[in-house]
Amino acid sequence: MTSQFPSTDDVILGPGDDAAVVAAPDGRTVATTDLLVEGRHFRREWSTARDVGHRAVAQNYADVVAMGARPTGLLIGFAAPADLPLAWAEEFTAGVREECALAGGAVVGGDMVGSDTLTIAVTALGDLEGRAPVRRDGARAGDVVAYTGHLGLSAAGLALLERGVDGPADCLSEHRRPSPPYAAGPEAAVLGATAMLDISDGLVQDLGHICRASGVRVDLESDALRPEPALLEAVRVLGAPAGNAVAAARRLMAVGGEDHALAAVFPPETGLPEHWHAVGVVAEAPRGSEEVPEHPVTLDGDVVERGGWDHFRRE
């Protein structure tokens, strides 16, 4: 990638050599990688190039902060058809630069190649700043489950786009340009979170990963899921009866994917800031069972039908 991206104190040597040099003051580096494939993760008729640039950064840095780390650097692979307009690539670059300004870190390198399918590969790096990484396997019975960020808006935005509906704007915007709560990841680590992850596949589905790693189960409380006004408006636009709008919105909050909010588990005595919303509790796996149940996350004690994002779902 070009050297037009601003450097940060973490970047010792930026783009221009065979490889970049990024500082790791902690002595450890958090690293993650992700792909965005046109037609699978975005559509040019629905999202601008700048939108895709924002998304490329957000969905990767969300994984970094979910470990309790601070974003430091990005490597971007860009595979594009020969007929892709140069202006599209320039707008994509602008979106990447703008999201880095919000999240921190900088692009330190990458590669470009021709491809029949527009594909973007991102590797993100982060610094733990002396803290232990917040993993998925630390949840214990009695802990409190909480989330921060937007839930359900992205899934509603996708449904609106599929139906050709132009609004509510907040839902469309959240789908096109996710807004992870970047500062909340390191904050949760300082607060003593015992487990945490980025909500990319849906709250229920992702909490299931914590349950299986920790050998526990989780029960969510529907009353604790408080839909934002834009989400309530969206489900009404999408056809939910007036009397069922709250229930429909809560379902999207529970199973909608690509939110890139954060879900974390905290010891019960933790004083949570207002932007962390407690929505459930961790419980022991059933006695006599050697494995976590097939559906380890329940809502008001009931199994939630499968939902969330499936990376291998057929279109």
Give the pLDDT of residue 66: 98
Q: Is 63 annotated as a binding residue?
A: yes
Residue 254 has pLDDT above 70, yes or no: yes
Domain residue extents for the chain: 11-127, 144-303
- Distance between terminal CA atoms of the chain? 32
Q: Is 201 annotated as a binding residue?
A: yes
Question: 37 vs 31, 215, 257, CA distance in Å?
Answer: 20, 34, 17
95: left (phi over 0), alpha (psi -120 to 50) or beta: alpha
Pairing of strands 30-37, 21-22: unpaired
Mean of pLDDT values over 124-135? 97
Residue 151 has pLDDT above 60, yes or no: yes
Q: Is 173 annotated as a binding residue?
A: no
Q: Is 309 annotated as a binding residue?
A: yes
Q: Is 51 annotated as a binding residue?
A: no
Q: 75 - beta bridge partners?
A: 109, 123
pLDDT tens track for 208-242: 999 999 999 999 999 999 999 999 999 999 999 88
Give the pLDDT of residue 314: 44
CATH class of the structural domain 144-303:
alpha beta
Give the pLDDT of residue 287: 59
Question: 154 vs 41, 160, 174, CA distance in Å?
Answer: 12, 10, 5
Residue 311 has pLDDT above 70, yes or no: no
β-sheet with 30-37: strand ranges across = 30-37, 119-127, 70-80, 106-114
Nearest to 30 by CA among 73, 94, 89: 73
pLDDT tens track for 55-114: 999 999 999 999 999 999 999 999 999 999 999 999 999 999 999 999 999 999 999 999
Q: Is 302 annotated as a binding residue?
A: no
Instruction: Tell me the pLDDT of the chain averaged across its residues.
Output: 92
Give the pLDDT of residue 215: 95
Q: Is 276 annotated as a binding residue?
A: no
Which CATH number is 11-127 given? Answer: 3.30.1330.10
The two domains 11-127 and 144-303 share their CATH topology (first three levels equal): no
Q: Is 259 annotated as a binding residue?
A: no
Mean of pLDDT values over 155-181? 96
pLDDT tens track for 2-33: 445 556 789 999 888 889 999 998 999 999 99
DSSP assignment, residue 46?
A: T
Q: Is 33 annotated as a binding residue?
A: yes
Give the pLDDT of residue 277: 98
Q: Is 46 annotated as a binding residue?
A: no
Q: Is 270 annotated as a binding residue?
A: no
Give the pLDDT of residue 115: 97
Nearest to 300 by CA among 266, 249, 250, 257: 250
Q: 125 - beta bridge partners?
A: 31, 73
